[in-house]
Amino acid sequence: MIQNRTIPASLSLHSYLPKIMAESLLFSVAESLLGKLASRAVEKASLAMGVYHDLQQMRVTMALVKALLLDAEQKKQQNNALSEWLRQIKRVFSDAEDIVDNFECEALRKHVVNTHGSVSRKVRRLFSTSNPLVYRLRMAREIKGIKNRLEKVAADRHMFGLQINDMDTRVVHRREMTHSHVNASNVIGREDDKKKIIELLLQDGNDTSPSVISIEGFGGMGKTTLAKLVFNDLIIDECFPLKMWVCVSNDFELRNVLIKILNSTPNPRNENFKNFEMEQLQNRLRNTLHRQKFLLVLDDVWNENRVKWNELKDIIDIGVEGSKILVTTRSHAIAVMMRTKSSNYYRLEGLSEEHSLSLFLKSAFDDGEERKHPQLVEIGKEILKKCGGIPLAVRTLGSSLVSRVNRQEWESLRDNEIWNLPQNEQDILPALELSYDQLPSYLKRCFACFSLAPEDFDISSFYVTLLWEALGFLPQPKEGETIHDVANQFLRELWLRSFLTDFLDMGSTCRFKLHDLVRDLAVYVAKGEFQILYPHSPNIYEHAQHLSFTENNMLGIDLVPIGLRTIIFPVEATNEAFLYTLVSRCKYLRVLDLSYSKYESLPRSIGKLKHLRYLDLSGNQKLEELPHSMYKLQNLQTLDLRGCIKLHELPKGIRKLISLRQLLVTTRQPEFPDKEIANLTSIETLELHSCNNLESLFEEIQISTLRFLNFSGCGSLKSFSFHAIKNLESLVIFNCSKLELSMGLGNEIPASRLKLLVLQSLSQLVTLPRWLRGSASTLHSLLIVGCNNLEELPEWLSNLNCLKLLMIEHCPKLLSLPDSMHHLTNLEHLEINDCPELCKRCQPGVGLDWHKISHIKQVIIGEPEE
């Protein structure tokens, strides 16, 4: 799971951004709630309890409030009363969410009783509600209370003159219009980027339609500045007789874009194009472009509507060979929509350390003045580590230190980061806010979860998915999809909008990092709802719902909110009294992370956490058994027991966890209860770690729902049935030295849906198993690591025609690649490290095997050893 382990205080946005905070997440909360209120399970339960009419009234009122939220969120920055109104709605929605979840819990409880009730009286007693009549009366009272509160806040809407808007369209957030002028002497570190863009613009092509070159990158990276440098270069002047610069921003209405383009062309008669009809605008522009080789810069494009783009392109496509359109955008999806050729994408990266320092010193000191203050320069280098090479961030931090030569002030900025920086129109952080404003509402809640992520840490989509799912932030998967497919799609959307970096797509999963400033944005927008508690700021927000503690000695903090949904304990937590109090007090917990704690037992009352979806007990080396009451957790989706090395066994009855999707286990038992696991109709992920007594698996069963299977350090495991897991998408086998990799299939090649295969530390691997050929039309990623006896990759490897990622590390006996490697035309990423002879043969341009792989888009080859 995403966790914060003794991490220093994060960058702060308090002084920079308007008060968007957690209220900006309300629209997606309302959508989720309305969906649940309309569900069959809630309908049946509410009819049985006699509260159906009240719930329907609440649903109607909630739909009305939802229709006002988008307008309210845009106006609240100028109206404190409106902000308070939204906070009241948030509290009502939160309580309503708990009520609705209660109905779902009741439906699951009845299902378990009906399914397993005949087993024994003990089971019935375990899953029964102590007094059904009292329960119904209490629920009815709570629902009426919620309904009344909701109607009251809905009645207050007339105070604010809000407009109804029930569609989540992009927020129109205009930035200052850009222009084409730039002082080149003020631009540092972009000379190479400029040359490469100019090369792209000067490329000859046979296409008479204007080709599109896109400069993509995170907000504040300097895309507009780079485009200006190119636009004003003498070579461009000579090559393009007509140059036009248009700042598009959010406004991509065709009429307005045409007016902007015409305003950037020669206009000797000073005509006012705003007075022109649409037909006149089109004709005038086409006449202006006629027989002219032109360069059109479309700066800061946000439009993702292909129809609007095609309308514009049809008008400016007048058949002049060599004309170009240069686009700057934060979104790769927009570049794709504008049909940019793959060779014409240019991803603008951050400045180097050297150039960042030059820009920082230029902003902080008068020319040469820095030589008088070498200590400040060293502190400045430490500050720059937080900027990730983003020019606007570097310039902002440097400018805030102008005329300040007091060492303590510099150290304060370094240690407290950007708490006290003033907000200026051109700073990086408003640019981040602009990107956030453009996110669809369903992504905003998910993005806020990143506030709990560690800084500069590799994050796996697998654990992000578990958190999002447990908190109810993901919609139900469509038929044929898993919840991981839904989450991966969300992550790809965030990546395309430049919120994620170092994004590695491995088919069924992905890995990525968060830029520090992006993580800070998450911390800010989640303020009041998500909170990391540090020793220097231990006070809990009054209405916090998601808490992460960083130190063990903070676990005695009083006044933990009853409505907590998430709590993440620190490493080596030992405060038993706090744990027991928390479990009995916080009955609405969805996520409980006790990983790497030192508890010897868990409270029996954990079975009362009927809303709990995610329970992480991994790394608890003193835990010997689980309380029997745990199997009342019918909502539990993820149970992580990896590294619980003293855990004797999984108690019988695990089949009662009917919502379980992910089970991650370390156990000492020789026989795994796979027949019980096969009864879990939702199970998708099974990970077995250091199950040293386990010898076989899945011998007489099938688990058709299983998608992800991971064996790690199971030293006695000899076999498992491949047929039992025919729908598997991801298979990881790590350090299982006795496992028969042929899976007993012989020459049989069963068809499979495998997308990701990881083979690591397997001394028995000499060549790839033949059954892998059955994944020829699905396998996306193949990782082979630490297989010391691997001697060859078979020629049939080229049949894996969907393979996009191939990584080979520390396989010293692998001497060459198959001759058919050039047939892997979809392979985009090849990485070879710590394979001395193979690295030598694959050296770019000179290696004997280079011609086999030179077609691959990204090739990373380690240095050959002497």
Report the distance separating Cα 614 and Cα 473, nearest Å.
Answer: 14
pLDDT at 427 over 50: no
Q: Which residue has the tokens 């020793």?
A: 535
For residue 350, give the nearest of 341, 359, 337, 342 by alpha carbon.
359
The token duo for 570 is 């620190």
Tens-digit pLDDT profile for residues 721-765:
877 788 899 999 999 999 998 887 777 778 889 999 999 999 999
**Structure confidence at residue 346 (pLDDT):** 92
Q: How confident is the model at residue 20 (pLDDT cuts 50, 70, 90)?
A: very low
Tens-digit pLDDT profile for residues 122-150:
444 434 445 667 777 887 888 888 888 88
Do residues 713 and 732 lie in contact, with contact meaning Cβ atoms separated by under 8 Å? Answer: no
Q: How confident is the model at residue 556 (pLDDT cuts 50, 70, 90)?
A: low
- Best-predicted range by mean pLDDT (89-98, 144-153, 404-413, 845-854): 845-854
The token duo for 217 is 């990158």
Residue 159: how many CB atoms within 10 A of its CB? 11
Percent of the chain predicted with pLDDT > 70: 88
pLDDT at 58 over 70: yes
Tens-digit pLDDT profile for residues 275-327:
899 999 999 999 999 888 999 999 988 888 888 899 999 999 886 788 999 99
Q: What is the DSSP string of 631-699?
A: GG-TT--EEEETT-TT---PPTTGGG-TT--EEEE----SS--HHHHHT-TT--EEEEES-TT--EE-S
CA 821 to mean position of chain CA atoms: 33
**Structure confidence at residue 845 (pLDDT):** 87
Three-state secondary structure readout of 392-446: HHHHHHHHCCCCCCCHHHHHHHHHHCCCCCCCCCCCHHHHHHHHHHCCCHHHHHH
Do residues 607 and 652 lie in contact, with contact meaning Cβ atoms separated by under 8 Å? Answer: no
pLDDT at 118 over 60: no
**Structure confidence at residue 126 (pLDDT):** 38
Mean pLDDT over 43-56 rounds to: 82
Tens-digit pLDDT profile for residues 675-716:
888 888 889 999 999 999 989 888 878 888 899 999 999 999
Tens-digit pLDDT profile for residues 322-362:
899 999 998 888 888 887 677 788 999 989 999 999 998 98
Residue 445: how many CB atoms within 10 A of its CB? 26
**Structure confidence at residue 184 (pLDDT):** 72
Mean pLDDT over 383-412 rounds to: 79
The DSSP 8-state label assigned to residue 275 in this structure reads: G
The three-class DSSP label of residue 47 is helix
Look up the pTM and report it. 0.72
